[in-house]
Amino acid sequence: MDNLTLWGLFFAVGLGTYLVRLSFIQLHGSTQALLERSKTILMLLPPAILAALCIPAIVFQRPTTEYQLDWIQILAGLVTVLIAHFSRSVFWPVVGGMLCLWLARWLISGNAV
């Protein structure tokens, strides 16, 4: 993507995000029914999107041209899930997962040498 397209992209997302933030504040009073109806989908979307975003990126090697599993990344993902289950922050699970990734790669490259 060239720079101009990227700026167009950023403005479009920025505007869209701002409109989402403003939505109910601006339409206050006339939207209670709509909110009630869309509540289920609003609740289902985050887990669906997050899972679809991260699962392939963790399971497969990049760049993805075929189904090439990356076991070290999968292990790091499992460590992240485990830590995230007990800590409410995003920070510590990511740190744990990355440490696991580096450690496992270092061990394997050490064995190879």
Partner 1 sequence: MHFSNYRQQFWEGVRDLLPLVSGVLPFGLIAGATGVALGMSPEMIMGMTVLFYAGSAQLAAYQLIQDNAPFVIIVLTSVVVNLRFAIYSATFAPLIAPLKARYRYPLAYLLSDQAYGLCNVPEQLNRSTGERLWYLTGVATSMCVAWILSVLLGVALGTSIPAHWSLEFTIPLAFLAMLVSTITSRLLFIVAVVAGLGAIAFQLLPYNLGFTLAVIAGVCCGIWLPGLVRRGGQSNG
Residues at the interface with partner 1 (CB under 8 A): 1, 3, 5-14, 16-18, 20-26, 28-29, 31, 35, 40-60, 64, 66-67, 73, 76-77, 80-81, 83-85, 88-91, 93-95, 97-98, 101-102
User: Which residues neighbour 82 within 8 Å (Cβ) at sequence distance 6 or greater?
Assistant: 96
Least distance to partner 1 from the beta carbon of 15, Å? 8
* Whole-angstrom distance, CA of residue 31 vs CA of residue 17: 18
Closest separation in Å from C-beta 71 to partner 1:
14
Q: Tell me 61's DSSP state.
A: P
